[in-house]
Amino acid sequence: MEDRLQAAERYIDEHRGALLALLQDLVAFRTEAPPARNAAGAQAYVARYLQELGLVTDVWDVFPGDPNVVGVRRGDPRKHSLLINGHIDVAEVGEGHGWTRDPFTCVLESGRVYGRGTADMKGGLAAALFALRALADAGVPTGGDVIFESVVGEEQGEAGTRSCNERGYRADFGLVPDTSGLAIQGQGGVITGWITIQSPRTFHDGMRSRLIHAGGGVRGFSAIEKMAKVIQALGDLERYWAVTRAYPGIPPGSNTINPAVIEGGRHPAFVADRCALWITVHFHPDQTYQEVTREIEEHVLAAAQADPWLREHPPTFRWGGRSMIEDRGEIFPALPLPADHPATRLLVAAHEQVVGRPPELGMSRTVTDAGWLGDAGIPAVIYGPGELDHAHAVDESCDFEQIVQAAKVYARFIATWTNTDRP
């Protein structure tokens, strides 16, 4: 097997130009999200690539114009299966102000490839696809099932990977070649939510004096002013978390509750009868988003009990969603790092063999779709080329040698893991 693995690595070295061309093709597709609904051409390209390698493809629309593509090669059920998951969408460019290059023309300059998605994460997607090409052309067999998911919507918290889970795709281990600088990572989780205060009555601005004066005789309040008490309660809980909660590899205080957007009132001539607060919550891998949201609700409702009006008109909650675009909500489940999993140990060994030193193991500073694999019961890791400092940035770029190394590591890992016997 080792001779064949080395042959696959030589193939990647000898065909760097083909790997670069693959990346250039992927970058040329304008799959920005927002606006999204533009991934059909890119996904058709990925589907053809997988079909050329002998994988059976499944294509379906998650949103109109944004299909998922899953390629499957069924193997020996006695061997371990592997699921590779990557997103085809990229961060928006907008008007392109500050860019010194065309964001959708990938160029190689002084060892770095430039273009939107080179770091996040078309570089990793290209490396994983090309690893399958290298294994096939070098005659390296895969043993167990190989499932390759090219999904939409990661940049806007959309349901691409979640839709794959709902379609039933599972494997013994998951690899997400997203931006990690070739470190092996887990991640914390993120969920957004709306807290809403609604008054049953709407008052004209001229009534405000009767609402606030001791002898006014009318019982009513501004929903905006009452939301201030909710924000204070959230801040108290956030500070409590920062002091009392910790998780290895995650900086202290990272479990935050951000009051990101507030919407309230209807017109200066009215007392605000409604106020909605959009919050973003970061949590640790030893928590589920269901546990975190329940704790927030209990804390806010307990604070509301101390206010006579809020006690009778308590805040309501709406958590998560399937799209930041469609319903202004998102969920990224947390993912513990399975450091002692046999597949992780094989990935460490593959990295050492290719790169010449052990990889870093830790927690990502951001969130990816890897959490949805963990949510489906699939042990998984994030491991991909590119640095977060260059992701989403003007003149986004990635060290091309890192993409080459990633392809070699993927090839070695895919072959060794899928040819390992299942218990």
Residue among 66, 89, 145, 158 flagged as catalytic: 89
β partners of residue 274:
198
Report the alpha-carbon angle 96-398-154, nearest 5. Answer: 70
Q: CATH 3.40.630.10 spans which residues of the chain?
A: 2-187+335-418
Residue among 9, 120, 149, 154 flagged as catalytic: 154
Q: Shortest CA distance to 369 belongs to which of 154, 192, 172?
A: 154
pLDDT at 94: 82
Token pair listed for 288? 């589920």
pLDDT more than 70, % of the chain: 96
Q: What strand order describes the sheet that includes 397-399? A: 107-109, 112-114, 397-399
Q: Say if residue 227 is preceded by a cis peptide, omega within 30 of 0.
A: no
Told to judge if 149 belongs to the known catalytic residues of this protein, a careful annotator would answer: no
pLDDT at 209: 60
pLDDT at 219: 63
In DSSP notation, 325-353 reads TTSSB-EE--B---TTSHHHHHHHHHHHH
Regions of the chain where pLDDT drops below 50? none
Whether 188 contacts 378, CB under 8 Å: no
Token pair listed for 104? 């959708």
CATH number of 2-187+335-418: 3.40.630.10
Fold of 189-319: Alpha-Beta Plaits (3.30.70)
Q: CATH 3.30.70.360 spans which residues of the chain?
A: 189-319
pLDDT at 96: 73
Told to judge if 154 belongs to the known catalytic residues of this protein, a careful annotator would answer: yes
pLDDT at 202: 77
pTM comes to 0.94
pLDDT at 210: 55
pLDDT at 19: 98
